[in-house]
Amino acid sequence: MKKFNSLFLMLVMAFSSVTLTACFDDDDDKKDCAEDLRAALEFATTKAQAMATNPSRATCDAYKKSLNDYKKLAEECGNSQHKQSADALINQANVTCDGL
């Protein structure tokens, strides 16, 4: 259960990073990017909850895919904090999934 606790803590930190560093000025692209990053992270959180409820290879693979999608989006329009949090979440997911 400690693995899942650290996983959720990292998700909370990443979500906070997206929320706190989002640019909401007059540039619509930046607004869209921030909203897309937030939505991708919320989706990953949903997949993490599914994995915590029913730990299996399938739920873990779905969670890792959602994190990779978040990372791809972070590389396209996020900042370095988004990329670092995506990498950290993926590394933690790999450790967690190896135990299944």
- Evaluate whether 38 touches 17 at the Cβ level (below 8 Å): no
User: What structural domains does the chain harbor?
Assistant: 2-98 (1.20.1440)
Question: In 54-100, where does DSSP find H-type helix?
Answer: 57-77, 80-98
Would you state the pLDDT for residue 99? Answer: 82
Would you state the pLDDT for residue 14? Answer: 65
- Evaluate whether 60 touches 51 at the Cβ level (below 8 Å): yes
pLDDT of residue 26 exceeding 80, the answer is no
Would you state the pLDDT for residue 34? Answer: 87
pLDDT tens column, 27-81: 555 678 889 999 999 999 999 999 989 999 999 999 999 999 999 999 998 888 8
Would you state the pLDDT for residue 58? Answer: 96
Would you state the pLDDT for residue 29? Answer: 58
Would you state the pLDDT for residue 27? Answer: 54
0.85 exceeded by the pTM? no
